[in-house]
Amino acid sequence: MDLGINGRCALVLGASSGLGEAIALALAREGVRLGLAARRLDRLDEVAARAKELGAPEARGFALDLHDAGSVPAMYAAFHDAFGDADIAILNGGGPKAARFTELALADWDAAYGLLLRGMLQLLDAIVPPMRARGWGRIVALTSTSVKQPIDTLALSNVFRTALVSALRTLAVEVARDGVTVNSIATGRVETARLRALYGNDEAKLLAASSEVPMGRIASPEEFAPLAVFLCGAPASYVTGQTISVDGGLTRGLFG
């Protein structure tokens, strides 16, 4: 299927590993020009080199730390100088502290707000107006199944990822007539550093994580990436305002 995005420009957050890297490389195969943002610039250089091998006309890394309020505008300024306006944005970042609601201090809430919500809103403020002016844009946010079915030990994720999805759903309606689509993907159990941080590297613990999933296994990032890339393409032009689960059947809701 031709997604019609050859030559488009994408900004992919969290592109140094895991889901962000997998999506960036899948976009590269579609001939997309890539700005890759994360904290680990050395790793981004490796991803950029691989992306060019796969078909990206351009690929370059940019330093980004979502814990730092000044990092988003600085990163986007550098990206814009190199690539111009973004046609596609993949909103992705690390997870917050794992804890139950009653175990958290106010400082934890402040830190999670910056990581999961404020930084993403900063970026949207920069990328959305040019998309609307051009009459074309794709925004895809990577969230968690916690936005549909709260997870006991991930109170911060439950709150702020849900807030981001709500903001994006609101935005989707406002920009729908401008040719800009806005969607979210609720991530289930995927083999990433975050999953291992939550469950541990012990294989027995990872097996326990797999047992929660009806399919009985953890997904690879490469299984996740095709949906994200499809949502960036022309064939998905009538899909907006959605939060789609990729979770092996984990979410129990009827419309998960």
CATH of the domain at 28: 3.40.50.720
pLDDT for residue 25: 98
Rg (CA), the chain: 17
Establish if 161 belongs to a structural domain. Answer: yes
Range of the domain at 168: 9-246
Establish if 253 belongs to a structural domain. Answer: no
Amino acid identity at 68 = D
Establish if 22 belongs to a structural domain. Answer: yes
pLDDT for residue 82: 97
Establish if 1 belongs to a structural domain. Answer: no
pLDDT for residue 208: 65
**Considering the entire predicted model, what is its pTM?**
0.93
| Angle, vertex CA 61, rays to CA 64 and CA 160, nearest 5 | 35
pLDDT for residue 94: 84
Establish if 181 belongs to a structural domain. Answer: yes
How many domains, in total, are found in the chain? Answer: 1
The CA distances from residue 133 to 12, 35, 91, 141, 149, in Å, are: 21, 21, 21, 21, 36
Task: Please list the pLDDT of the chain residue by residue as tens digits (256 residues).
Answer: 799 999 999 999 999 999 999 999 999 999 999 999 999 999 999 999 999 999 999 999 999 999 998 999 999 999 999 999 999 999 998 888 889 999 999 999 999 999 999 999 999 999 999 999 999 999 999 998 889 989 888 999 999 999 999 999 999 999 999 999 999 999 877 776 665 665 666 665 566 667 788 888 877 888 889 999 999 999 999 999 999 998 878 888 777 6
Q: What's the sign of the alpha-carbon dihedral 69, 173, 177, 229?
A: positive
Establish if 46 belongs to a structural domain. Answer: yes
Establish if 64 belongs to a structural domain. Answer: yes
Establish if 254 belongs to a structural domain. Answer: no
